[in-house]
């Protein structure tokens, strides 16, 4: 349980320094701060460690990417932030998760439910896992709006839903609101899902491999829409992907995860310019081959991959703050 000393250095400065073309975040509280998150799964015969002390932060309005190969622990981190992991029998979760300055450790299931879909929301890879097939899109928006405002009238919810659907370039929102998910294309459902995740103006949007169930063109379009939406609503994003091309375009800051450990972190530009960790270098070297799913074949017992975490210093701010 040795504290990661590099963390303190980064935490002190990153809020003002590491965002390209950043809006000044000053001394504001992090949207998300995870410290030493550990996860074990209790099995029948043995306990497996999945996360070995993860520390990460997302500043207000910052877009942070978490990249790493399949099975490295990306989705379990997302589920821990949403309080979903803690519901699994057999999952042993330790560490601190602060959200908008509030310590979520020990939050009741009910309190967590009040946060989910309201202050924090999530987009999944596959819309069918979050859209309910037996309700119309309009009914589902109403349900989402009711999480934030239990008394909201259906007509008010409908107007708000139509407005946000237009923001994701849905030109006939009323028709879409009356449709069931199966009546819409995959790309359309994905846009609906993004709009729904943003419906209550969350402070944090977690996007886990969004769009990878779609073909590349639609995926690209979907990501651009998502980016526009989070920009205009000034939403912080935790973006999970193993597509480095997408990460490069989208993220201000990157965390590289390998076998349940953050092995490298820093401003996106610095990581792409000068990847330091052997695993990051391997990811980069294989990047042209990665198109929405493939992962380079890296030797798991390569000792260099177990080297300490690499931390890039924050990029200098053009305005300066001292």
Ligand X SMILES: Nc1ncnc2c1ncn2[C@@H]1O[C@H](COP(=O)(O)OP(=O)(O)OP(=O)(O)O)[C@@H](O)[C@H]1O
Query: Which chain residues interact with ligand X by CB under 6 A?
Result: 41, 50, 68, 70-76, 88, 242
* Residue 16 vs 125, nearer CB to ligand X: 125
Choose the one of ligand X, Mg ion, none that binds residue 28, judging by a C-beta under 5 to 8 angstroms depending on kind.
Answer: none
In the bound complex, what is the minimum distance in angstroms from residue 84's beta carbon to ligand X?
10
Contact 161, 117 (CB under 8 A): no
How many angstroms separate the Cα of 121 from the Cα of each of 113, 185, 214?
Answer: 11, 23, 21
Site membership for Mg ion, residue 72 (CB under 5 A): no
Q: Give the one residue of 75, 130, 157, 189 binding Mg ion; rule: CB under 5 A.
A: 75
Q: Shortest Cβ distance from residue 284 to ligand X (Å)? A: 17
Q: State the Cα–Cα distance between residues 304 and 314, nearest whole angstrom.
A: 24
- Give the residue with the Cβ less far from ligand X, 72 or 140: 72
Residue 251 CB, shortest distance to ligand X, in Å, is 16
**How many residues are present in the chain?**
322
By CB under 5 A, tell whether 241 contacts Mg ion: no
* CA 71 vs CA 86, 257, 270, 277, 303: distances in Å: 19, 10, 25, 19, 19
Does 125 engage in binding with Mg ion (CB under 5 A)? no
Which residue's structure tokens are 């990306």?
74
Burial of 257 (0-12, 13-18, 19+ CB in 10 A): buried
CB of 74 to ligand X, least distance (A): 4
Q: Which CA distances in Å does 70 have to 76, 167, 273, 275, 293?
A: 12, 32, 24, 20, 9
Contacted entry of ligand X, Mg ion, none for residue 76, CB cut-off 5 to 8 Å set by kind: ligand X
Interacting partner of 70 out of Mg ion, ligand X, none (Cβ under 5 to 8 A depending on kind): ligand X
> In the complex with Mg ion, which residue's Cβ is closer, 76 or 271?
76
Measured from the CB atom, the residue of 94 and 169 that comes closer to ligand X is: 94
Rounded to the nearest whole angstrom, what is the least distance from the CB of residue 175 to Mg ion in the complex?
Answer: 33
Contact, 261 vs 74, CB < 8 A? Answer: no
Cβ-based nearer residue to ligand X, 12 or 90: 90
């Amino acid at each position: 349980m040795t504290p990661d000393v590099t963390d303190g250095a980064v935490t002190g400065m990153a809020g003002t320094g590491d965002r390209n073309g950043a809006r000044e975040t000053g001394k504001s509280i992090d949207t998300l701060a995870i410290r030493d998150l550990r996860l074990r799964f209790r099995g029948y015969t043995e306990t497996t460690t999945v996360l070995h002390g993860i520390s990460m932060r997302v500043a207000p309005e910052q877009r942070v990417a978490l990249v790493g190969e399949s099975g490295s622990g990306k989705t379990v981190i997302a589920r821990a932030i949403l309080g979903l992991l803690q519901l699994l029998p057999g999952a042993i979760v330790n560490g601190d998760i602060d959200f908008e300055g509030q310590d979520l450790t020990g939050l009741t299931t009910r309190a967590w439910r009040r946060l989910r879909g309201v202050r924090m929301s999530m987009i999944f890879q596959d819309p069918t896992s979050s859209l309910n097939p037996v309700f119309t899109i309009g009914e589902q928006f109403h349900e989402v709006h009711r999480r934030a405002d239990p008394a909201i009238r259906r007509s008010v919810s409908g107007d708000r839903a139509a407005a946000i659907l237009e923001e994701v370039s849905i030109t006939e929102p009323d028709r879409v609101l009356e449709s069931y998910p199966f009546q819409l294309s995959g790309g359309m459902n994905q846009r609906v899902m993004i709009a729904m995740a943003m419906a209550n103006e969350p402070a944090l949007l977690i996007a886990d491999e969004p769009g990878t169930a779609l073909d590349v063109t639609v995926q690209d379009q979907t990501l651009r829409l998502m980016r526009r939406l989070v920009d205009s609503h000034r939403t912080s994003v935790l973006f999970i992907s193993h597509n480095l091309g997408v990460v490069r375009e989208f993220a201000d800051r990157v965390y590289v995860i390998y076998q349940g450990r953050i092995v490298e972190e820093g401003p996106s530009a610095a990581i792409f310019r000068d990847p330091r960790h052997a695993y990051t270098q391997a990811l980069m070297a294989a990047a042209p081959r990665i198109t929405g799913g493939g992962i380079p074949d890296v030797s798991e017992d390569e000792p260099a991959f177990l080297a300490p975490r690499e931390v890039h210093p924050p990029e200098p701010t053009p305005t300066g703050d001292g």
